[in-house]
A and B are shown apart, each in its own frame.
Chain A
Amino acid sequence: MKKRRAPIRDHHAESALFARRSIVAMVLVVLVLCGLLLNMYQLQVLQHQQYQTRSNDNRIKVVPLAPNRGLIYDRRGRLLAENRPVLSLEIVPERVSDLSDTLARLQQLLNLNDQQLEQFEDQRRRERRFDQVTLLENLSEQQAARFAVRQHEFPGVSIEARLIRYYPHGEALTHALGYVAKINRNDLQRLSAEQQTANYAATRTIGKLGIERFYEQQLHGSVGYQQIEVDIRGRAVRTLSVQPPIPGSDLTLELDLDLQQFVYDLLGDMRGSIILLDPRDGAVRAMVSKPSFDPNWFVQGISTEQYQGLLSSRHSPLLNRSTQGGYPPASTIKPHLAVLALEQGIIAPHTKIWDPGWFQITGVDHRYRDWLAWGHGWVDVDTAIVESCDTFYYDIALRMGIDAISEHMAHYGFGELTGIDIHEEAIAVLPSRAWKRARFNQPWYAGETVSIGIGQSYWTSTPMQLAVSTATLIRRGERPIPRLLHSISTADTETIAAVAYKAPLVLANPANWEVAIKAMNRVVSSVKGTAHRAFLGASYSSGGKTGTAQVRSIAQGETYNADEVEEKYRDNAMYIGYAPVNNPHIVIMIAIENAGGGGSIAAPLARQILDYYFSLEKQHEDL
Chain B
Amino acid sequence: MKTSEERQRQAWLQRLRLDGPLLCGLLALAFISALTVYSASGQDWAMTERQLLRIGIAFVVMLVVAHIPLDSVQRFSLPIFSAGVVLLLAVLLFGETSKGAQRWLDFGIVTIQPSELMKLAVPMAIAWFISQQPLPVSKRRLLAAFILLLVPTLMIANQPDLGTALLIASSGIFVLFLAGISWRLITFFGIAASAFVPILWTFLMRDYQRQRVLTFLDPERDPLGSGYQIIQSKIAIGSGGIEGKGWLQGTQSQLEFLPERHTDFIFSVYSEEFGLLGVALLLGLYAFVVVRGLQIAMRAQRVYQKLLAGSLTLTFFIYVLVNIGMVSGLLPVVGVPLPLISYGGTSMVTLMAGFGLVMAIATNKRLVMHN
Binding site for B on A (CB under 8 A): 7-10, 13-15, 17-19, 21-22, 25-26, 29-30, 32-33, 36-37, 39-41, 43-45, 47-48, 50-52, 54-56, 58-59, 94, 97, 130, 230, 232-234
Q: Give the docked Cα–Cα distance between A451 and B238 (Å).
A: 83
A36 contacts which of B236, B290, B294, B328 (Cβ < 8 Å)? B328
Question: Are A36 and B135 in contact (CB-based, < 8 A)?
Answer: no
Q: How many residues from B make CB contacts under 8 Å with A?
A: 53
Q: Give the docked Cα–Cα distance between A599 and B77 (Å).
A: 101
Closest chain B residue to A46, Cβ basis:
B238
CB proximity of A591 to chain B, nearest CB, Å: 53
Question: Are B136 and A17 in contact (CB-based, < 8 A)?
Answer: yes
Q: Give the docked Cα–Cα distance between A233 and B253 (Å).
A: 10
Given A18-B297, A22-B294, A43-B328, answer yes or no on A33-B286 (Cβ-Cβ < 8 Å): yes
Question: Are B238 and A48 in contact (CB-based, < 8 A)?
Answer: yes
Ranked nearest first, the 10 interchain pairs of A and B with the lowest CB-CB distance are: A51-B238, A55-B239, A44-B276, A43-B238, A51-B239, A9-B134, A14-B135, A17-B180, A54-B235, A52-B239
A29 contacts which of B134, B237, B317, B330 (Cβ < 8 Å)? B317
A25 contacts which of B134, B177, B179 (Cβ < 8 Å)? B177
Q: Give the docked Cα–Cα distance between A43 and B237 (Å).
A: 7
Query: Does B249 have its Cβ within 8 Å of any Cβ on chain A?
Result: yes
Question: Are B306 and A39 in contact (CB-based, < 8 A)?
Answer: no
Q: Give the docked Cα–Cα distance between A324 and B130 (Å).
A: 83
Complex contacts, A7 vs chain B, CB 8 Å: 133-134
Complex contacts, B210 vs chain A, CB 8 Å: none
Complex contacts, B174 vs chain A, CB 8 Å: 25
Question: Are B310 and A22 in contact (CB-based, < 8 A)?
Answer: yes
Question: Are B135 and A18 in contact (CB-based, < 8 A)?
Answer: yes
Complex contacts, B328 vs chain A, CB 8 Å: 36, 39-40, 43
CB proximity of B44 to chain A, nearest CB, Å: 7
Complex contacts, B287 vs chain A, CB 8 Å: 29-30, 33
Query: Can you name 10 A-B residue pairings with CB atoms under 8 Å?
Result: A15-B306, A21-B310, A30-B291, A32-B321, A36-B330, A37-B280, A54-B239, A58-B257, A232-B251, A234-B254
A-B pair number, CB within 8 angstroms: 136
Of the candidates B136, B239, B271, the one having the most CB atoms from chain A within 10 angstroms of its own CB is: B239
Binding site for A on B (CB under 8 A): 44, 46, 133-136, 174, 177-180, 232, 234-242, 249, 251-252, 254-257, 271, 275-276, 279-280, 283, 286-287, 290-291, 294, 297-298, 303, 306-307, 310, 314, 317, 320-321, 324-325, 328, 330
CB proximity of B127 to chain A, nearest CB, Å: 12
Complex contacts, B306 vs chain A, CB 8 Å: 15, 18
Given A37-B279, A230-B255, answer yes or no on A29-B290 (Cβ-Cβ < 8 Å): yes
Complex contacts, B177 vs chain A, CB 8 Å: 21, 25
B interface secondary structure, majority: helix
Question: Are B291 and A29 in contact (CB-based, < 8 A)?
Answer: yes
Complex contacts, A19 vs chain B, CB 8 Å: 298
Complex contacts, A8 vs chain B, CB 8 Å: 134
A18 contacts which of B234, B236, B291, B298 (Cβ < 8 Å)? B298
Complex contacts, B180 vs chain A, CB 8 Å: 17-18, 21
Question: Are A58 and B235 in contact (CB-based, < 8 A)?
Answer: yes
Question: Are A21 and B134 in contact (CB-based, < 8 A)?
Answer: no
Question: Are A40 and B237 in contact (CB-based, < 8 A)?
Answer: yes
Complex contacts, B298 vs chain A, CB 8 Å: 15, 18-19, 22
Question: Are B279 and A40 in contact (CB-based, < 8 A)?
Answer: yes
Q: Give the docked Cα–Cα distance between A40 and B136 (Å).
A: 38
CB proximity of B369 to chain A, nearest CB, Å: 15
Q: Give the docked Cα–Cα distance between A128 and B136 (Å).
A: 57
Question: Are A33 and B255 in contact (CB-based, < 8 A)?
Answer: no
Question: Are A234 and B255 in contact (CB-based, < 8 A)?
Answer: yes
Q: Give the docked Cα–Cα distance between A18 and B44 (Å).
A: 46
Complex contacts, B321 vs chain A, CB 8 Å: 32, 36
Question: Are B256 and A130 in contact (CB-based, < 8 A)?
Answer: yes
Q: Give the docked Cα–Cα distance between A495 and B60 (Å).
A: 80
Closest chain A residue to B286, Cβ basis:
A33
